[in-house]
Structure 1
């Protein structure tokens, strides 16, 4: 029986074997996890995330390297009170690699003392501009050292710096590389040299992997726009297609007014303004721009003992009366000890500051380009027929003062079969990427350009031969990223940009309407002159006692009087002069009209519009409503012309009978 039971039970089921089953993870203690944690140097972070600094691809990396070096050169020259002379050279090294380039940027600034070279060029987040509130191109202390780090990562070559800080002394030649694991410089060569011009200045040489091409968002466009926003600077640029030595005579010459190309191949962007922009002054932070955490940190770090002196000396626009009012609203006094202000007291103080009326921060910390300088820059870089510019009064966002400037160039040699070109600047630095994300471009799109005679699609830029320049000057420009390619969208900033664009648009609309009126008057005079001779002869035929020449002269004088707008001439600012002044013209001196049919002119704004007349070029595409109105006017003119021909034929038959 037991055997029978075993046979009936059948074979035992097989157990499935687990394939490649991982072993159970051993439990790890907090101490073991802590061994893998360490501080991440900022240089190592940006080495792995270099796209955040603008080194996305080889083409953009070449542009970013030149941009950082040129910005530093301009800042150094202006702070030292020196008119900038900058030489930019790009050498292609195909014998090494097809994408290998050497970038050289040299300036005539004050130079760099030897003990500061290592930190300025070999460490990220090192500089003098981050903590001060005044307008400058650089802000973060990352740019030029990041460019050297990119060159080191892509080519393994160190950055070369040659600088002289005092005349008559040898220049320092330093070759260094940044240690990304420690954010420290490693100097490989340190010697004195005479291979530098006799003046003070700095030369930076970086070998990197890049790609050179022309067109939009290129090095050529960046330097062209830099010359527009900095008319006081002289830039000599040698593109990689030219292999000759830099023409020192071209760099030293200072008598040209237009962009030229030397026989050696250098592109020279001339200096059209012989004075430096006013030097901005450093200011204290405004109370409205300080957040609660920053206020608590300032209370801990201040050297003041009482709350009243703290508010007056650590902030701007806070006097004894305002300090007393703020303390009273916070339930404190001006004699309260700063060390006794706890978190609740700091929060009450912060709320009191927000509830007190304060004067806007001072604006001497800004150095805007200025309307006249904008016109000089546009005349140098854009061949148009109409120029205008506007500078808005200073405004404030988050307690930071800022100022917006706008320039327009219309007509001339500009292409009219596409959207307008928008060029953006922040603290005189061109912004070439992320246009659609920039507050300046959004303000251009939001402006209703149809009111000023230009065609515009929904949600698009205006169409026609137009260049729009938008510049924002501020002690702290709110960029959207560390690469500084677009301005963040604050309501206060976009409002000021829109108002400046509308002001320039009104001037452009007045010019276009004035040009249309002048064209119509010239056509009207042409019609008169076409028939005045026939009328004079017919009158003489009817009555021989009437002198035909006298009739013709009288009718011509009447026609000229009735169409006097066709003879309007313009002064240096584009305003009508002489007895035929149109009373509707109200330009404020920030507008220039250039006659492109005559010899090309350049230089200062006053040299461009002398003796100019409204051009006869066709206007831009008109809105649909204007087209319908124009069609009705054309039909009316055709009817009148048919009636006139009928009356002329009748008059001719009557004359033949007589």
Structure 2
């Protein structure tokens, strides 16, 4: 009788999703050659959010050298609880993902990917250094090859306390034979070869473009870059500039049925884990325009949910969709849609000043703004164009972003009836890739969603319609 193998069903830890080049590429949406940009983008987004929540005018310094990337801010400091949560690779911790708001990002695992990135880049010496609140953390994250679970070592020491947070993704300066495209990314230290030397120059230009993008999209930001000793600096043009802050209440008009169900589920799960059960009145009070007791009472009376706990909407392991629909309808009926200007307008003066700093001809800078509200969803679209002059290199520079964050790649890749995207549209207007022009496009929108984890293609929702941009 032939031997029969009874296969065993093995369970593999999802923690391994962060500890290989392939898996980390999936998590971030970008290949290893773009990870320096991922580090800078995610840490800069977090730094800006932290400063804005604390009403601190942001000052951010980025440094790139042969042994690492450092991002330093002047915010309130990274909370220990946030860092501790990121060290748990079994869960995804985010205070953005379940809300609908004009946030810079909602990946939900950004800090976690940056924690594991040094190990993947340099298994021998890679680490993450975090300085905040008078403590320096030297964090080494690696995966046990047998159990396939994360092993986290957090070495701490006391240091003089200064405002803000310093985060450094660090690796050895002497391991540049691991990858075809190598780290470190300085063209003076990489292994010689046309591909690596080309990429070293390219990544420098892309890092510089990202820093310029943040300076363009954030009038209140002072930002500087130290690239192997080469300095670039942008002072804030308007330290009093305001936008919708990350800790402002969200508007009920920004939610569809599925969005509100997702938020309710997140709250109910959180409360169960902490042995609490908030009331629907408490839930409603967190929305824009519903902090007053009179309005809350009107909403609850209209929805028939007086003196009811939020968990009621999820009893039986499913959503009470009829009750949630009534609640959302009542919340929207008793509030006004947010005006587009409340989201935040970058403005002609700031953009013109920045474009002049980047070499734009002051006489040939144009700016346009569209600010509208459609079915409760406000948006502000700002575009600008500058001519660099006949003596400038024949190369178009495009700065594209959403919600005050610079994009790693152009996210407006497919729109219009023909789906030609931004590059095609510019070429149709005689501003192709070989023209010495600067072009800026920025979208502020509470329901920006992305087609991938790398935030490389925007999906816009207007009512029940979906358009990939």
- Matched residue, 1:172: 135
Tell me the secondary structure at the aligned position of residue 392 of structure 1: strand
Which of 337, 357, 368 aligns to 1:361? It is: 337
The 1:282/1:25 distance shift into structure 2, 3 A limit, reads farther
- Matched residue, 1:142: 109
The 1:46/1:434 distance shift into structure 2, 3 A limit, reads farther
Taking CA–CA contacts closer than 8 Å with sequence separation of 6 or more, which of the two structures ends up with the larger relative contact order?
A: 2
Name the CA distance, whole Å, in 2 between partners of 1:464 and 1:345: 57
Paired residues for 1:55-454 under 5 Å? 56-92=30-66, 101-120=67-86, 123=89, 125-156=92-123, 157-164=126-133, 171-178=134-141, 186-194=152-160, 199-208=162-171, 209-212=183-186, 213-215=200-202, 218-240=206-228, 242=229, 265-280=230-245, 281-286=248-253, 289-291=256-258, 294=261, 301=268, 303-304=278-279, 339=312, 346-347=321-322, 350=325, 361-363=337-339, 366-384=343-361, 385-396=363-374, 401-410=378-387, 412=389, 421-433=397-409, 437=413, 439=415, 442=420, 444=422, 454=429
Name the CA distance, whole Å, in 2 between partners of 1:344 and 1:193: 50
Tell me the secondary structure at the aligned position of residue 266 of structure 1: strand
CA apart distance, 1:178: 3.4
The 1:442/1:226 distance shift into structure 2, 3 A limit, reads farther
CA apart distance, 1:52: 2.6
Name the CA distance, whole Å, in 2 between partners of 1:480 and 1:89: 30
Contact kept in structure 2, 1:425 and 1:471, CA below 8 Å = yes
CA apart distance, 1:108: 1.6
Which of 37, 40, 59 aligns to 2:14? It is: 40
Name the CA distance, whole Å, in 1 between partners of 2:92 and 2:243: 27
Which whole-Å deviations, capped at 9, do the CAs of 1:373-412 have from their partners, x for residues lacking one? Answer: 2223323324223223233224357x65433222222353
- As a proportion of its length, which structure holds more helix? 1
Contact kept in structure 2, 1:106 and 1:201, CA below 8 Å = yes
CA apart distance, 1:43: 4.7
Tell me the secondary structure at the aligned position of residue 33 of structure 2: helix
1:49 aligns with 2:49: no
The 1:347/1:427 distance shift into structure 2, 3 A limit, reads same
How many aligned positions are there? 415
1:469 aligns with 2:436: no
Name the CA distance, whole Å, in 2 between partners of 1:173 and 1:296: 35
Task: Return 5+ residue gaps in structure 2 as ranges.
Answer: 172-182, 187-199, 269-276
Name the CA distance, whole Å, in 1 between partners of 2:463 and 2:348: 21
Name the CA distance, whole Å, in 1 between partners of 2:259 and 2:31: 40
Contact kept in structure 2, 1:134 and 1:365, CA below 8 Å = no
Name the CA distance, whole Å, in 2 between partners of 1:269 and 1:86: 10
CA apart distance, 1:200: 0.5
The 1:227/1:292 distance shift into structure 2, 3 A limit, reads closer
Task: Return 5+ residue gaps in structure 1 as ranges.
Answer: 1-22, 93-100, 165-170, 243-264, 328-332, 499-658
CA apart distance, 1:192: 0.4
CA apart distance, 1:426: 1.3
CA apart distance, 1:336: 11
Name the CA distance, whole Å, in 2 between partners of 1:356 and 1:77: 30
What TM-score do you get using the length of structure 1 for normalisation? 0.52
The 1:69/1:313 distance shift into structure 2, 3 A limit, reads closer
Which whole-Å deviations, capped at 9, do the CAs of 1:523-544 have from their partners, x for residues lacking one? Answer: xxxxxxxxxxxxxxxxxxxxxx
Structure number with greater Rg is 1
- Judge which range, 334-343 or 71-80, deviates more: 334-343
CA apart distance, 1:109: 1.6
- Matched residue, 1:627: none
What TM-score do you get using the length of structure 2 for normalisation? 0.70
CA RMSD of aligned residues (A): 4.6
Contact kept in structure 1, 2:448 and 2:461, CA below 8 Å = no
Name the CA distance, whole Å, in 1 between partners of 2:349 and 2:337: 25
